[in-house]
Amino acid sequence: MNKCVITGLAFALCVNQLPAQTAPEPLNWTAAQDHQNMMDQLGIKALRPGPSGSTVPGTPNMANYDPDKANPYPDLPEILRLKNGQKVTTADAWWKQRRPEIVEDFEREVFGRIPKNVPKVTWTVTQTVNTQIGGIPVIGKQLVGHVDNSSYPAISVDIRMAVVVPANAKGPVPVLMMFSGGTLPGAAPAFGGFGGSGGRGASGPGRGFGAAAFSGALAGRGPGAGSGAAGRGPGPSGPPSTQQLVADGWGYASINPASIQADNGAGLTKGIIGLVNKGQARKPDDWGSLRAWAWGAARGLDYLETDPAIDAKHVGIEGVSRYGKAALVTMAFEPRFAIVLVGSSGEGGAKLHRRNFGEAVENLTGTGEYHWMAGNFLKYGASDATFGAKTAADIPVDSHELIALCAPRPTFISYGLPERGDANWLDHQGSYMATVSAGSVFRLLGVHDIGDKADYHVAKMPGVNVGMLDGELAWRQHDGGHEDQSNMKYFIAWADRELHHTPAPQSAAK
């Protein structure tokens, strides 16, 4: 055993002679092992099972679809009341007092905190192409955002993103960032890069996409985009979303969420979460995949702010299904995003946690999809724990407050038709109630809500294809399936008005 008993200036020389500390190898756990570790940390002995997504009569533990049984906890946390009981009546009180309270609750209990020591991302353009979308000339850039992993080389994170703008634009253009494949027009989507989003951990409708349908059905773009939650129904109305955007004078960015963080529990010791934790297990208030994807989108926005072809003050965020949740989380926590399209987001997105209709909190606390959330979220599915039992009613916040965090920026909540694949599992009515309730914050901040004057307890969702698009908070249920392409033309027109963008005439290629 070498000993070194030295003081003063010679100490540094002595330290250099000591054996180097070896960083631990990343844990290679299964999702079940990681999930059990979090239960152990929290003192949870048993969780309630999530309801089945089956629609076959007689299936055990079927989800509730009876409206009369849908509101066991009818009263939501009051958005405009401080924890000390005082009412919030001014914008100043919202920004300085109430909003920070809500953010803290979401970070600690629901989505997790972004660590302060997340490494820097360096963006590199790896390819530039001149091509066409719908006959309109465009310039596309393929990018890689390398996350500095010098502190832990065992894990590498390289964010994949593509940026496309009209070639004939007269100046900087607004851009809609989409959670999708991260590839240039015409390139084959890297389905394997989505971390198994097509079915692992499936607990109900909206989870069973195969690779062939993924880029369309889940992301709402291109052929097959209307195949819906169970691969049923006709395709969406209108051209692909990217074509509609370019035709209106917008650009778009496609960012690959799985290149940021895998969509499964086994990946929590890898990706950006694993890199920051040096391959070790999460703590209960650490971020989950939804917050990690939102962080990656913000890093993509860092790059867009450096591109002179892009109007960086007018960048939006969009996603469908689990990526609709991610889009809403991104908008809520990253103030630089100017506008959002939240497609068919369901539980963990616009759907109220306190509603007993379709997907439930328990579906997000079991092993299938717990990785989306902070570890602390598991407490609200606990039936037996050192702290007793908790339910959705114990969550200190709900989705109406998540929507409210987006205010006063333009926020569009989009859903499709259950009969065409946007399953009842998503609880469209519960999401509408949340949107109505969130309107009080939009009004307080001097902008318009969706215009429904009813109390959220009794507010009834409007008919299909009835757009409530007159305010900064917007709602529309289209007649397509599990996609938002059918709402894209309405979103673009609404966004043009909100962002004061004049559609530029585009010249198709000869």
DSSP output for 454-488: S-TTT--PPPTT--B-SSSEEEEE-SSSS-SGGGH
Residue 430 parent element (H or E): helix 428-444
Average the pLDDT over 101-115 and give the result: 98
Is residue 28 within 8 Å of 258, Cβ to Cβ? no
Residue 48 clears pLDDT 60, i.e. is over it:
yes
The whole-chain average pLDDT of the chain stands at 89
Query: CA triplet 124, 129, 134: central angle to 5 degrees?
Result: 130
Structure confidence by residue, pLDDT tens digits, 407-460: 999 999 999 999 999 999 999 999 999 999 999 999 999 999 999 999 999 999
For residue 473, what pLDDT is reported? 98
Structure confidence by residue, pLDDT tens digits, 382-391: 999 999 999 9
- Peptide bond before residue 100 is cis, with ω within 30 degrees of 0: no
For residue 509, what pLDDT is reported? 44
Number of Cβ within 10 Å of residue 85's Cβ equals 7
Positive or negative: CA dihedral 189, 192, 193, 195: positive
- The pLDDT-based confidence of 327 (bands split at 50, 70, 90) is very high
- The pLDDT-based confidence of 56 (bands split at 50, 70, 90) is confident
Structure confidence by residue, pLDDT tens digits, 127-150: 999 999 999 999 999 999 999 999
Residue 431 parent element (H or E): helix 428-444
490/493 Cα distance (integer angstroms)? 5
Is residue 177 within 8 Å of 252, Cβ to Cβ? yes
Residue 3 clears pLDDT 50, i.e. is over it:
no
Average the pLDDT over 303-311 and give the result: 98
Structure confidence by residue, pLDDT tens digits, 177-193: 999 999 999 887 654 44
For residue 506, what pLDDT is reported? 59
Going by C-alpha positions, the residue among 208, 284, 212 that lies closest to residue 482 is 208
For residue 199, what pLDDT is reported? 30
Percent of the chain clearing pLDDT 70 (strictly above): 86
292/150 Cα distance (integer angstroms)? 20
For the chain, give the number of residues: 510
For residue 140, what pLDDT is reported? 98
Structure confidence by residue, pLDDT tens digits, 343-367: 999 999 999 999 999 999 999 999 9
Helix/strand/coil for 381: helix
All structural domains of the chain: 83-499 (3.40.50.1820)
